[in-house]
């Protein structure tokens, strides 16, 4: 019994799982930990297979155990070669298990790979469809953009403004107008309709009144106009001007950097300017500012003084000096030599002017309080070397500083400013001595973009005084307008310079430099002659022949005269003295230009001339009858017909349709 119990115990030992099987179970369960769901399924199937193998293996082990016990008779050693056979059977079982596990792993990996590929394909398809939908929507919106109807505009007027919708419509209109021939609405909307809608949208979105936005639309292309208006919404950089009477720019920059000011030199065109990006201290209250080492001044205010280029020991006038930024710059360039007359008409502004002069250490300046139009009577005519006229203006170039300009300006106010500016520029010219050895220059500047305040004023001065335009000495800036709508200016007006915030990153500004050629004031006839020369150049530019332009010169004399000039015109002799009406010299008889031949004989003057021609040859002519010119309407109509004919002929020569001009 004891031996049989012992044999049973010995035969029961192999029923325990071998350590190899445990290790294989653990290693199998640890495989692919990132995919728990699949692993659980695999573990469940593998456990069933392992249990089946264990049962088979236990049966085999029981048979082998009984055989060994009966053959050995009390010996603990198994039969020779039994271990090898056991190990061999284990290896076979392990190989079968590994094959089954490998097949199941490969199947599961293949399934996962297929699923991942299908998911990737689906995502890619959805992404592609979404991109196509977006492109289709964009193309539909862009290609099929149409102007809103009156009913839609009325509905928008009764609702709060949708800024995002307005901005998108502005961009679409700008895009269409930039390539109007291809992108225009097929229903027949004209360019004028698009421009009018653009004006309304810009006024609503940016807050401009109708006059100002209309003037800007007429002055700039639509794409550039949008850039300009966007630039007006951003502040300009803070700039400093080093006072060279007390310090150098490098030393000032070092001191301010130590105080926590982040700055750089302004640009290559200025040797004294600094631009401030960031400051840890109030830039207008530092000890250096109080000591007069620098002046807070916009970059555009440097330009008129640089164009004036004052020399040492000269007599210079600043006609509108407050608050003193330009005056102190002139004094620094003159090194406190010579004399500066700093005039300011508004008495309250004299305090800031005198304070800045004292702070900056200026000692060669006389402050006066006169109306600029009366300065020639106070200082004397032909008495100074240079004059700076930074004229009072509408301020349409500094909207970023004063947003009230958007809604406060009107056509009447622009005309009032232009009238005052014309009076001031004539007074400035009268003060300058044309015979000055080093001077004889006038610089006219404004912070306005309006043509009526800039080119028109300079053109007026060219006609009324013996002056000419000279280069400003500035290497950048856009040339002034020679043509603006129906207006035509002297070709030399291109020497003036315009500065824009969206191009030069400074306030909108205009600078013109004039050189006085003679101290004599031109008579009315001479001023008309200057207008005639301008008209000739304009006619040549529009492809008129030289002979026709010379014949049109006398006609343009009458055309350029304004109604005010004709009412206030007086009889003046060549010496500049007033003469009685009876003593006025008779002018030579004028002939009509060739292109007025179809009007011959329709005016009283023509009939008188014909009567005089019929007089006998022996009889002397007692009086010369003045030829009366046709009305201005007839003149303008005839000139327009001539221009149209020239344009058509030019278009035919260039094989271009007249509608594309």
Q: Quick check: helix, strand or coil at residue 497?
A: strand
pLDDT score for 629: 64
Buried b (16+ CB within 10 A) or exposed e, 160-186: eeeeeebeebbebbbebbeeeeeebee
pLDDT score for 535: 47
Q: Is 443 left (phi over 0), alpha (psi -120 to 50) or beta?
A: beta
Distance CA 522, CA 424 (A): 18
Contact 408, 210 (CB under 8 A): no
**Nearest residue to 334 (alpha-carbon basis) of 362, 295, 359:** 362
Q: Quick check: helix, strand or coil at residue 273?
A: strand
Contact 536, 559 (CB under 8 A): no
Neighbours of 440 (CB within 10 A): 21
Those residues with Cβ within 8 angstroms of residue 88's Cβ, 6 or more apart along the chain or in another chain: none
Q: Are strands 294-296 and 273-279 parallel, antiparallel or unpaired?
A: unpaired
**Nearest residue to 470 (alpha-carbon basis) of 451, 497, 489:** 497
**Nearest residue to 389 (alpha-carbon basis) of 454, 332, 317:** 317
What DSSP designation does 365 have? E
Binding residues for S-adenosyl-L-methionine: 320-326, 344, 371, 390
Those residues with Cβ within 8 angstroms of residue 89's Cβ, 6 or more apart along the chain or in another chain: 57, 60
Contact 237, 505 (CB under 8 A): yes
**How far is CA 122 from its chain centroid?**
46
Active-site positions read 447
Distance CA 556, CA 485 (A): 18
Per run of 10 residues, the mean pLDDT along the chain (length 661 residues) is 44 45 44 42 46 48 43 43 44 55 65 85 87 63 68 83 87 86 73 89 92 93 92 93 96 95 93 94 94 95 96 95 95 96 94 96 96 93 94 94 92 95 96 91 96 96 95 93 93 96 94 94 62 46 39 40 41 42 44 49 45 48 57 81 85 60 41
Binding residues: 320-326, 344, 371, 390
Determine phi and psi for 629, rounding to 5 degrees: -80, 155
pLDDT score for 265: 95
Distance CA 341, CA 327 (A): 9
pLDDT score for 579: 44
């Amino acid at each position: 019994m004891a031996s049989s119990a012992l044999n049973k115990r010995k035969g029961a030992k192999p029923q325990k799982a071998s350590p190899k099987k445990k290790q294989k179970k653990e290693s199998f369960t640890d495989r692919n930990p990132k995919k728990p769901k699949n692993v659980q399924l695999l573990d469940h199937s593998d456990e069933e297979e392992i249990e089946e193998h264990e049962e088979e293996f236990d049966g085999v082990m029981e048979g082998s155990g009984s055989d060994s016990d009966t053959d050995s008779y009390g010996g603990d050693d198994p039969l020779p070669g039994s271990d090898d056979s056991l190990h061999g059977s284990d290896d076979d079982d392990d190989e079968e298990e590994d094959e089954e596990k490998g097949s199941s792993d490969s199947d599961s990996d293949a399934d996962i790979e297929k699923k991942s590929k299908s998911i990737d394909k689906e995502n890619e398809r959805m992404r592609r469809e979404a991109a196509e939908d977006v492109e289709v929507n964009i193309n539909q919106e862009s290609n099929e953009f149409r102007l809103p109807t009156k009913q839609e505009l009325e509905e928008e007027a009764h609702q709060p403004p949708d800024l995002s919708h307005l901005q998108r419509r502005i961009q679409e209109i700008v895009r269409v107008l930039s390539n109007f021939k291809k992108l225009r609405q097929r229903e027949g909307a004209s360019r004028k309709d698009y421009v009018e809608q653009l004006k309304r949208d810009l006024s609503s979105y940016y807050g401009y009144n109708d006059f100002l936005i209309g003037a800007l639309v007429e002055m700039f292309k639509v794409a550039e106009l949008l850039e300009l208006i966007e630039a007006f919404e951003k502040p300009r950089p803070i700039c400093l001007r080093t006072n060279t009477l007390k310090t150098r720019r490098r030393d000032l920059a070092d001191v301010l950097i130590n105080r926590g000011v982040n700055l750089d030199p302004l640009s290559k065109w200025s040797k004294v300017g600094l631009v401030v990006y960031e400051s840890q201290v109030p830039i207008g209250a530092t000890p250096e500012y109080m000591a007069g080492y620098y002046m807070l001044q916009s970059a555009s205010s440097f330009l008129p003084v640089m164009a004036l280029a004052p020399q040492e020991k000269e007599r210079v006038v600043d006609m509108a000096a407050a608050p003193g930024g330009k005056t102190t710059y002139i004094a620094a360039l003159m090194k406190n030599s010579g004399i500066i007359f700093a005039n300011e008409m508004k008495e309250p502004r004299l305090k800031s002017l005198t304070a800045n002069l004292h702070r900056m250490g200026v000692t060669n300046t006389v402050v006066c309080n006169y109306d600029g139009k009366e300065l020639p009577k106070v200082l004397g005519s032909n008495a100074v070397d240079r004059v700076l006229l930074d004229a009072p203006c509408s301020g349409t170039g500094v909207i970023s500083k004063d947003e009230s300009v958007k809604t406060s300006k009107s056509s009447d106010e622009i005309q009032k400013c232009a009238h005052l500016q014309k009076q001031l520029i004539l007074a400035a010219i009268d003060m300058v001595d044309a015979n000055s050895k080093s001077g004889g220059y006038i610089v006219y500047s404004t912070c306005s973009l309006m043509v009526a305040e800039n080119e028109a004023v300079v053109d007026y001065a060219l006609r009324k005084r013996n002056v000419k335009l000279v280069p400003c000495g500035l290497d950048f800036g856009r040339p002034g307008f020679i043509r603006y709508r129906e207006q035509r200016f002297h070709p030399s007006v291109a020497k003036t310079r315009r500065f824009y915030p969206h191009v030069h990153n400074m306030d909108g500004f205009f600078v013109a430099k004039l050189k006085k050629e003679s101290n004599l004031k031109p008579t009315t006839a001479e001023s008309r002659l200057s207008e005639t020369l301008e008209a000739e150049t304009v006619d040549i530019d529009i492809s008129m022949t030289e002979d026709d332009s010379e014949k049109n010169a006398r006609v343009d004399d009458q055309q350029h005269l304004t109604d005010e000039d004709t009412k206030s015109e007086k009889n003046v002799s060549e010496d500049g003295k007033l003469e009685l009406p009876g003593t006025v010299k008779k002018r030579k008889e004028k002939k009509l230009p060739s292109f007025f031949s179809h009007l011959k004989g329709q005016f009283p003057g023509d009939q008188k001339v014909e009567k005089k021609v019929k007089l006998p040859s022996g009889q002397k002519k007692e009086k010369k009858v003045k030829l009366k010119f046709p009305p201005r309407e007839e003149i303008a109509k005839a000139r327009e017909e001539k221009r149209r004919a020239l344009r058509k002929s030019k278009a035919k020569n260039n094989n271009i349709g007249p509608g594309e001009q």
